[in-house]
Structure formats: structure tokens, C-alpha cells
Amino acid sequence: MSEIWSGKIEKIDDYRWRIPKSHKPGMRVPGIIYADEKLLKDIYQDKAMEQVANVAFLPGIVNASLAMPDIHWGYGFCIGGVAATDPENEGVISPGGVGFDINCGVRLLKTNLQFEDVKDHIKDLVYALFSDVPAGVGSKGDIKVGAKEEKEILLKGARWAVEQGFGTEEDLECTEEYGAIQGADPQTVSDRAYERGKAQSGTLGSGNHFLEIQVIDQLYERDACDTLGLDLGQIMVMIHSGSRGLGYQVCEDYTRSMVRCLDKYHINVPDRQLACAPVNSSEGKAYLAAMKCAANYAWSNRQCLMYLTRRVFERIFASSWQKLGMQLIYDVAHNIAKMEKYTVAGKEKVLCVHRKGATRAFGPGHPALPDRYKKMGQPVIIPGDMGRNSYLLLGTKKAEEETFGSTCHGAGRLKSRTAATRSIDINVLLKDLEVKGIIVKASGGATILEEAPQAYKDVNDVVNVVHNAGISKRVCRMKPLGVIKG
């Protein structure tokens, strides 16, 4: 099914490439892909480029259909896609531009432990985390809630978890949208979605979701590291999860209704997974309010997951998480649609920014940032694969000017799950990881194979592009020591 893309592409500079509007009739704006020549070769291998062109069909799309260097073939939008639409100019919102795992995202917390302190405890930590943090297909947790409480989660997001004693005010300050996006309306969420969400708070899920113990192996921005209290050899924890079954159900419910909106609002898109409705229509407003509920559920979920993680560290090191310095650096969403202010052709506008596998990357001084990050810019967390690296970056003004304040979200897949499973031997893979000092525990062997490093692009290449293109700035790099997979 995969075939090499043969469309025309124009070089803008070493890190930007344009698919002209003339690529196919119906494109309202060009496509712009952030990549270097090395990454571009891989990007040609699947249908991601065509998906960038398809997104350019969306009514009201502003400037360009954008793709980050971790771009790969998705469904509807490509993964790594960014599209902003103008509600005052027929702009639409598309559940396919957010995805089924609404507010899938990452959080990074630091510790005051050094590699020397943990090197003999990695296995204990991995096994304890695997036992205490529910992971895997349809995983359910100990945090079960009734309908009334679930409504509170949908409104309050991570604050709900903090009110239960699963964190602090400081955690909320270090979370995108302070852990709860405003405008969520629990009435727009179906009973089925509630049902799917009642037992999944504090669960990791499966697929590419993970919990990792990492060590900082490279510093790039000394001043930012000093401000954040980060140094070489320091132990970090990264958590990657989303809104679980509740989010999938919200996306499914609204894709169903928006497929019908294509006729109703005379919208022409080349792929029904791009089904959408005007942001200001009743369908658009209802989806946005429901999507916000799922986003808040995800922030609460990651807050609960961090609480479980802190408890494990407390047990293993017989100390409180505060004494272990386990403070949250930041939490970012990478599957979401947000109403954000931008200047377009000299005029200030509120746009609907879709980030499908892309991360918000606001620069210094942005009003959405908490005081502690106003001067340096927003921390951006980029997870890599389980065998290579992950990064902490900072957002930039240039991202606000060029990419609607967006950057990449990870390494991006290179190989299909079936190809990875076919071509990789699990015993060789686990041995390779062990030689590198990485312990992996997953609920199924298939997940380890599907998520093998060979199945991903090199995150170092991806980050190189966003750094050199100026849409984010490298702060430090981590490498994994212990990995818990669903």
C-alpha cells in the first residue's frame, strides 16, 4: 500500500520545503514541511506528503498546512501536522486534526538524584513502577470515580487530582493551560464516553505510551539548565499518556456527526477522516467543548500517573518526593485544538490551531506562560524512542511567527508495526538495550517489538531541524535507563 510520493516540492531553505497550491485543485494554501534532506528521503516513503496537501483543503485555513520533521503517515491529518483556521473566514474544526487520543501528551519531572544514586536500583524502580502503574490494553486503575466526580475531572482537569491529594498547586502552574482548559462542557460528552472514563484515571494505556526513567547526558543551554536546576547525570522521569477510552469515544462520537456536516456546510475535503464543521457552528462548538473535557481528563490522568510515580520513588528511596526533588518541569499536549491569538496580515485574530502530533512552543513573554517561564519561554518535551534519546527544548518567538507557536512532538515512526514485528528479533533487541544499560518492562512482547528503536526516526535528526529552523531551542538531552510500556 505504501508508495513513494511523487508530487512536486520546492526548497525554501535548508529546513523548509513547500508543496505548492498547484499540487492539486482544491488546496487553499500551500503545504510547508520542516525537514532536512536526510529526513525528507524517509518522508517521501509513505502518504504523509499527500496528507499535508489534503489538510490544505480545510475551509478557513490560514497561511499554510504545516508539518513538523517527525511527520509520518496518519489517518486524515499526517502525524506532525499543524493547521490554523480562521473562524471569521469560514474556518473549521476537525476531530481528525486532533485524533482519537485527545490531549495525548508528555510530562517531564526532575529529581535531585544522580546516576550514581540510582544505578543499582533501576531494576527495582522499573519493576515497582510496572506493578504500581496500570499499563496495557484497556488498563484500569485503583482510582475509580462516579459520574459526578468524573464531571468534575472534565471541568477541573489536573486540579481535580490535586484536590484529591495527588499533587500540588506548583504542579498545576507547570502544566499547559494550568492543567484545565476553560470552556469544557460535560453535557457535550456522551454517556458511553463517561462509561469508558470511569476507571481509567491514572492508567498509562498501550501502544507508544510509556513511563521512563532517564538521565541527562548532554547540556546545550547552560543558563536555562541553571534556572531549571538541571545538570549532567541527573535523573529525570518522563510520562507519556492521554485521555484513554474517554477521548477515543469523544472523537468517534463527533466524527460521526461531522461526516454529515460535510454535506450540510458544502465542505469539500479529499478524505472523510478530515470531516469538520465551522468552528462557530453548533456542531463545531459542541465538539470543541467536548474535546476540552477529554483534554482535561488527560491532564488529570498524567497528574495521577505522576502521583503513582512519586509514590514508587518514595518507597524505593525511603524518602519523601519533596526531599527527592521530584518537581514537575512541564506538561505539554501534542494532540489538541486550541483557540489562540495571532497576527495575520497585520490584524490580530483568534485562530483555531490544530496540533496533531505537534507541541505548543510559545516563546519568551507569551501571556499564557506562568511567571517562572515568562523570561525563558515555554518548556517543550520531546520523547524519543526507548533506545536513543529524549529532549527538553524551549519555545521561541519565531515559532509564534512561523508555525502558530508549534514544534515537533517526538521522533516520528519510520517503520510500520507489522514490518517492525517481522524484522526484529525480540531477544536480540532486549540484549541490545541491556548492553546500553536500558531495562524495559512491557505488558506484552508485541509492544516492545512494535516500539523498537529501529521503527522510529532518530530523534536527534528531528530536533536538529526544529533547533536550526529556530522554532525551538535545545536545552538538554536525556537517555533512557528504565522503560515501562503498555
> Which residues have a catalytic role annotated?
409
Shortest CB 140 distance to another protein, Å: 9
Q: Which amino acid is at 358?
A: A
Here the cell at position 135 is 499499563
Indicate the residue among 224 and 414 with the shorter CB distance to another protein.
Answer: 414
User: Which residues, at least 6 apart from 123, have a Cβ–Cβ distance to it below 8 Å?
Assistant: 439, 482
Shortest CB 136 distance to another protein, Å: 6
Here the cell at position 110 is 526532575
Indicate the residue among 62 and 275 with the shorter CB distance to another protein.
Answer: 275
Indicate the residue among 379 and 383 with the shorter CB distance to another protein.
Answer: 383
Shortest CB 100 distance to another protein, Å: 4
Shortest CB 95 distance to another protein, Å: 10
Query: Of 248, 252, 241, which Cα lies nearest the Cα of 201?
Result: 241
Task: Say if residues 250 and 293 touch (Cβ distance below 8 Å).
Answer: yes
Query: Of 241, 222, 240, which Cα lies nearest the Cα of 394?
Result: 222
Shortest CB 157 distance to another protein, Å: 21
Indicate the residue among 339 and 419 with the shorter CB distance to another protein.
Answer: 419
Bridge partners of 338, per DSSP, are 353
Here the cell at position 354 is 490544530
R_g over Cα of the chain: 21
User: Which residues, at least 6 apart from 270, have a Cβ–Cβ distance to it below 8 Å?
Assistant: 24, 26, 54, 57
Indicate the residue among 244 and 366 with the shorter CB distance to another protein.
Answer: 244
- Taking the CA atoms of residue 351, residue 254, residue 414 and residue 390 in that order, the dihedral angle to the nearest 10 degrees is 60
Q: Give CA separation, 77 vs 240, 380, 464, in Å.
A: 21, 22, 24
Indicate the residue among 225 and 449 with the shorter CB distance to another protein.
Answer: 449
Indicate the residue among 48 and 113 with the shorter CB distance to another protein.
Answer: 48
Shortest CB 319 distance to another protein, Å: 35
Indicate the residue among 250 and 438 with the shorter CB distance to another protein.
Answer: 250
Shortest CB 67 distance to another protein, Å: 14
Task: Say if residues 180 and 299 touch (Cβ distance below 8 Å).
Answer: yes
User: How many CA within 13 A on the CB side of residue 230?
Assistant: 31
User: Which residues, at least 6 apart from 354, have a Cβ–Cβ distance to it below 8 Å?
Assistant: 77, 81, 82, 83, 84, 85, 93, 94, 97, 98, 336, 337
**Exposure b/e, 12-43, CB count within 10 A at least 16 = b:** eeebbbbbebebeeebebbbbbbbbeebbebb
Indicate the residue among 132 and 195 with the shorter CB distance to another protein.
Answer: 195
The span from the CA of 339 to the CA of 134, in Å, is: 33
State the DSSP string of 410-437. Answer: S--B-S-HHHHHHH--HHHHHHHHHHTT
Count of Cβ atoms closer than 10 Å to residue 308 Cβ: 21
Binding site for another protein (CB under 8 A): 1-2, 46-48, 72-76, 79, 99-101, 136-138, 192, 195-196, 205-207, 245, 248-249, 251-252, 255-256, 259-260, 271-273, 275, 413-419, 443-444, 446, 450, 486
The span from the CA of 136 to the CA of 140, in Å, is: 9
Shortest CB 179 distance to another protein, Å: 23
Shortest CB 414 distance to another protein, Å: 7
Question: For 186-276, where are the E strands, in sequence order?
Answer: 210-219, 234-241
Bridge partners of 241, per DSSP, are 105
Counting Cβ atoms within 10 Å, is residue 124 exposed (0-12), middle (13-18) or buried (19+)?
Answer: middle
Count of Cβ atoms closer than 10 Å to residue 371 Cβ: 7
